[in-house]
């Protein structure tokens, strides 16, 4: 019988469940397992560990679901660094490149990472590699120029994620401005993100000229994926945020369930996770996760 590991990156995954690997359990051939990956933090944005399955409730389209799989572990991630190379980034490029490399170093030793650079166009600058040295050479090899094709770069990175070796996937998108040259639209980028099941974390060092419109676009992209959007004021603050993202990827809870909805029409299904604090735990808990997925289609 064929075996398949059904874990995924910080989001929701729908997988044909032929069987789980040896450390989980075997599944029937005609069911789909949905996995929701959840970051839980307290009011000071600190990760909350030691929660059990009983602390979580999960709903699909407002209907309670039975949590069949519960895990809290660090597994390898396939990462995409999508990095702004437009002219305006030049004064901060060296510090941002250093922060991105620090982000990679904080990961699992079995992670793999690729780099997409964007300016007037988007391009794959480095294919998947486990080597931090290769990534460093790639980041150092380019000189900023041109404008800002964020949406084209994101869609290119999401497409390239189809070649990932790991089932857990995430993208870190770093920019200092608003898209002004992409062939794709924001709506197309958001829809591609919703369909990809890849967590997208956006880091925007935005000028006042980019302002509210640029911020809104990065928030929409991150929220569509179950990731988060951050808006640091300096390159040093951006480095701290990237370390926080690396932490979030290591600290996720995985909730797996078999949907009660047996209809296979490819429609969007909303997902809600509620977290109940343990006894005597007084801090408010916040959960971040992908808020839905496209169901299976016959």
DSSP-assigned states of every residue in the chain: --------SSSEEEEE-S---TTS----TT-EEEEEEEEEE-TTS-B-----GGGEEEEETTEEE-EEEEEE----EEEEEEEE-SGGGGGGHHHHHHHHHHHHHTS-TT-EEEEEEESSSEEEEEEEES-HHHHHHHHHT----S---HHHHHHHHHHHGGG-SSSEEEEEEEESS---S-SS-HHHHHHHHHHHT-EEEEEE---TTTHHHHHHHHHHHHHHHT--EE--SSHHHHHHHHHHHHHHHHS-EEEEE--S----B--EEEEEEEEPPPTT--S--EEE---EEEPPB-
pLDDT at 22: 36
Q: What is the pLDDT of residues 227-265, one digit of tens each?
A: 999 999 999 999 999 999 999 999 999 999 999 999 999
Percent of the chain with pLDDT over 90: 78
Confidence class of residue 136 from pLDDT cuts 50, 70 and 90? very high
Confidence class of residue 266 from pLDDT cuts 50, 70 and 90? very high
pTM of the model: 0.86
Q: Where in the chain is the domain with CATH 3.40.50.410?
A: 77-250
pLDDT at 143: 94
pLDDT at 191: 97
Q: What is the pLDDT of residues 117-130, one digit of tens each?
A: 999 999 999 999 99
Domain 77-250 grouped into CATH 3.90.550.10:
no
pLDDT at 282: 84
Q: What is the pLDDT of residues 146-179, one digit of tens each?
A: 999 999 999 999 999 999 999 789 999 999 989 9
Confidence class of residue 13 from pLDDT cuts 50, 70 and 90? low
pLDDT at 209: 53
Confidence class of residue 24 from pLDDT cuts 50, 70 and 90? very low
């Amino acid at each position: 019988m064929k075996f398949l590991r059904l874990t995924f990156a910080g989001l929701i995954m729908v997988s044909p469940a032929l069987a789980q690997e040896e450390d989980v359990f075997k599944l029937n051939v005609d069911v789909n397992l949905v996995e929701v990956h959840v970051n839980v933090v307290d009011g000071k944005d600190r990760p909350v560990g030691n929660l059990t399955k009983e602390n979580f409730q999960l709903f699909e389209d407002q209907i309670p679901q039975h949590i069949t799989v519960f895990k809290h572990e660090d597994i390898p991630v396939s990462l995409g660094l999508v990095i702004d190379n437009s002219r305006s980034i030049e004064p901060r490029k060296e510090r941002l490149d250093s922060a991105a490399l620090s982000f990679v170093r904080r990961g699992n030793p079995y992670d793999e990472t690729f780099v997409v650079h964007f300016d007037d166009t988007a391009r794959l600058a480095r294919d998947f590699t486990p080597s931090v040295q290769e990534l460093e050479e790639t980041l150092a090899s380019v000189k900023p120029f041109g404008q800002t094709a964020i949406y084209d770069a994101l869609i290119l990175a999401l497409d390239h994620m189809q070649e990932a070796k790991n089932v857990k996937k995430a993208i870190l998108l770093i920019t200092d401005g608003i898209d002004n040259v992409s062939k794709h639209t924001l709506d197309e980028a958001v829809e591609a993100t919703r369909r990809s099941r890849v967590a997208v974390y956006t880091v925007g060092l935005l000028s006042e000229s980019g302002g509210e419109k640029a911020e809104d676009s990065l928030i929409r992209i991150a929220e569509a994926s179950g990731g988060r959007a951050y808006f640091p004021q300096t390159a040093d603050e951006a480095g701290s945020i990237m370390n926080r993202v690396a932490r979030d990827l290591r600290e996720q809870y995985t909730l797996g369930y078999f949907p009660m909805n047996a209809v296979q029409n490819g429609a969007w299904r909303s997902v809600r996770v509620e977290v109940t604090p343990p006894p005597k735990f007084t801090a408010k808990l916040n959960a971040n996760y992908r808020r839905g997925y496209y169901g299976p289609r016959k």
